[in-house]
Amino acid sequence: MDGQISAPTQATSLFDQTVIPGDIIADLPSVANLRVGSGLRQDCFELLATKVGKLRYKKPNKYWLESSHKRYDPSAEDTILGIVVGRKSENFLVDIKSPSLALLPVVAFEGGTKKNIPKLEIGSLLYARVVKAYHGTNPELSCTDASGKAAQFGPLKEGYMFDSSTGLARMLLSTPTCPVLQAFDMQSFEIVIGLNGRIWVNASTPSMVVLISNAIMASEFLSASQQANMVKELTDRLQACCSVR
């Protein structure tokens, strides 16, 4: 069981480093009330990585792995974008890019009762929250926040949705504002980012929507300055095209 070699109680050498599955992160008897996040597994007194990613640590006891995938691993309290694909008795069947379909109770909307079930067609796009996600069962969603208010959850109208990786979605949601979004500061647009790698954009003109979506898709592996340059280049090209037309 030779993983990453580090001093037994000292795992600091691995923080913010890329680890691969099988790497031993830390020996744990020293840490009380350990909180293990995604991508890590507790094995007796050791923390093992089960995915490729960057190890993150928040004092005093939170460990997790940041990785980027095209498929989504549901976990509770994530906000995601789902597509309604069917209805099954008391639940809507929603696709959230996870191994199994998610279930959204028909009453899980603000002021939702059996009498006023929202009419969601197949192919509707929803912004929802993952309530429960256990391995082997269908994840459960809700279109309200914990207190029962709508809080901007629910179906999205108009706009354009595209797929990306979970890593890009997290990068767009991080603070301070991601450079590619910063570059569009002067424009007015709406954006909804799902942690399952789905992004919805809406703006006043289709060309703006196309510009923003392509800029975001291209920005995943670029550095901050590269992102700014790329956006500038795309905007200039669009201006040139528009002036020609």
Partner 1 sequence: MEQRLANTWHMTINEKKFIETALSKNIRVDGRSPVDYRQLTIKFGREDGSSEVQLGETHVIGFVSGQIIQPYRDRPNEGTLAIFTEFSPMADPAFEPGRPGEFAIELGRLIDRGLRESRAVDMESLCIVAGKLVWAIRVDLHILDNGGNLIDTANIAALAALLTYRKPECTLGGENGQDVVVHDPEVREPLPLIIHHMPVAVTFAFFNEGDAMVIDPTHKEEAIMGGRMTATLNSNGDVCAVQKAGGDGVSLSVITHCLRLAALKAVDITSKIKNAVDSYNTARALRKVKRHTSLVAPDITIPDSVMKDNQIGQLAEHKAQKFKEESTKTFDTESVVGIPKETDLFNKKNINFIRKDTDSFIGGPSNWDPYSQSKPPNFVRSSQISPGSSTVDHKQEARTMQIESNSEETKSNNASSGLSRTSSMSQQRTTPKSLKDAVKPKSERKNRPSSASGVN
> Which residues contact partner 1 (rule: CB under 8 A)?
83, 85-86, 93, 95, 99-101, 121, 123-125, 156-161, 200, 206-207, 209-211, 213-214
Between 47 and 97, CB nearer to partner 1: 97
**Minimum CB distance to partner 1 smaller for 121 or for 185:** 121
Q: How far is the CB of 84 from partner 1 (least distance, A)?
A: 9
92: nearest Cα among 81, 101, 83, 103: 103
Instruction: Give the residue with the Cβ less far from partner 1, 56 or 69.
Output: 69
CB of 230 to partner 1, least distance (A): 13
Contacts of 130 (CB under 8 A, 6+ apart): 74, 75, 76, 77, 78, 79, 80, 96, 102, 139, 140, 141
CB of 91 to partner 1, least distance (A): 11
Residues facing residue 102 across a β-bridge: 94
Gyration radius from the chain CA atoms: 21
Instruction: Supply the minimum distance, in Å, between the C-beta of residue 44 and partner 1.
Output: 35
Q: Which is nearer to partner 1, 114 or 245 (CB)?
A: 245
CB of 100 to partner 1, least distance (A): 6
Least Å distance, CB 110 to partner 1, is 22
Report the length, in residues, of the chain.
245
Which is nearer to partner 1, 83 or 106 (by Cβ)?
83
Task: Please state whether 136 falls in left (phi above 0), alpha (psi between -120 and 50) or beta.
Answer: left
Smaller CB separation from partner 1, 67 or 98:
98
